[in-house]
Structure 1
Amino acid sequence: MRDTFIIGAVIAAALTAPARADDQVERGEYLATIMDCGGCHTTGALLGKPDPERYLAGSTVGFQIPGLGIFYPPNLTPDRETGLGTWTAAQIVAAVRTGVRPDGRVLAPAMPYGHYGALSDADAQALAAYLKSLKPVHHAAPAMAGAADKPTAPYLAVVMP
């Protein structure tokens, strides 16, 4: 009887494991939606015409932050050359929560990592799982430009009167 119970428990766990992984990705998609990741990281979104073929694949329009420069939201898809394809889930979680990339560079202040630092462990992991589940899109966002550099692509600026 005990062996039957153990075998039944193992089978049940094996059958529900894929559902839990799917649930985690689904939760991550929900979080990416309510956190509006696509509002900045999707080509054309900042111009009011998001390109569904480049969803979360980086923006061609940046943000000017006075005194710091112009920052272009990068590709969040798992493309190995232009996106997060070489990042681990833990590195994605760390960047979202702390604003520090695997190479040590701090993300632009326009990225609300200060608020996203409050994500629960489960939600941060779900977001990373979702980003890693996306179809890789090969698309490099323009390089950031320092405060004294000439930008290579359009950008949004706040001009004080």
Structure 2
Amino acid sequence: AYVKSVPAVDNEPGSSDVQLLGRALFIAGQISALPAESIDHSAPAPAAVAPGATPQHGKYLITIGGCADCHNTALSGGPMTGAPPDAPPAANLTPQSELSGWTDADFIETMRTGVNPAGKQLNSFMPYKYIGLLSDDELRAMYLYLKTIPPKATGEQ
């Protein structure tokens, strides 16, 4: 929604280079500089669904948004794969987490402000500043989908 709301820009982004620190961490096996290798290229692309505040649209948004990259495929959180050892664990997004007590308004407000209903600031690893740019219906759809997934303990697959 946000990208559609701003005018196109004609620019040349230039090249992207991995600098010395990045190369050293890659050689030491601490980071993956080749994330494309971790993608299952034979998997079918997610089917587009009709926009709206529905669990189906929420699943689509969560899938294309890459939430599982940090929160794992079960969305149960825990240590993030490929993250530095001192990185904070990702939050559990299943109904077994603190989200179970949230309303859709709580979820939307948290994604917009980065502060959860208990007053706790979300970790800066969480891209809430960008997620908060989604429309109310898109955020509500994500919330509705999260309410449908199986409850899991943190880190459980």
Give the alignment's TM-score, normalised by structure 2. 0.58
How far apart in 1 are the matches of 2:90 and 2:146?
15
State which drifts further: 92-101 or 26-35. 92-101
Residues 46-125 of structure 1 mapped to structure 2, 5 A cutoff? 55-61=74-80, 70-79=87-96, 82-125=97-140
CA RMSD in angstroms, aligned pairs only: 2.7
How far apart in 1 are the matches of 2:126 and 2:137?
21
1:131 equivalent in structure 2: 146
Between Structure 1 and Structure 2, the one with more strand by share is 1
User: How big is the shift at 1:83?
Assistant: 4.3
How far apart in 1 are the matches of 2:115 and 2:53?
27
Q: State the aligned residue count.
A: 105
SS at 1:84 equivalent: helix
Larger radius of gyration: 1
Residues 3-18 of structure 1 mapped to structure 2, 5 A cutoff? none
Give the alignment's TM-score, normalised by structure 1. 0.57
Gaps of 5+ in 2: 1-49
Gaps of 5+ in 1: 1-19, 43-51, 142-161
- Contact 1:83–1:138 under 8 Å retained in 2: no
Between Structure 1 and Structure 2, the one with more helix by share is 1
CA offsets 1:96-126 (integer angstroms, 9 cap, x no match):
2221111111111111111111111110110
How far apart in 1 are the matches of 2:113 and 2:78?
22
The structure 1 segments of at least 4 consecutive aligned residues displaced by more than 6 Å after TM superposition are none
SS at 1:26 equivalent: helix
CA offsets 1:72-94 (integer angstroms, 9 cap, x no match):
11100011xx4421222221222
Residues 12-27 of structure 1 mapped to structure 2, 5 A cutoff? 24-27=54-57
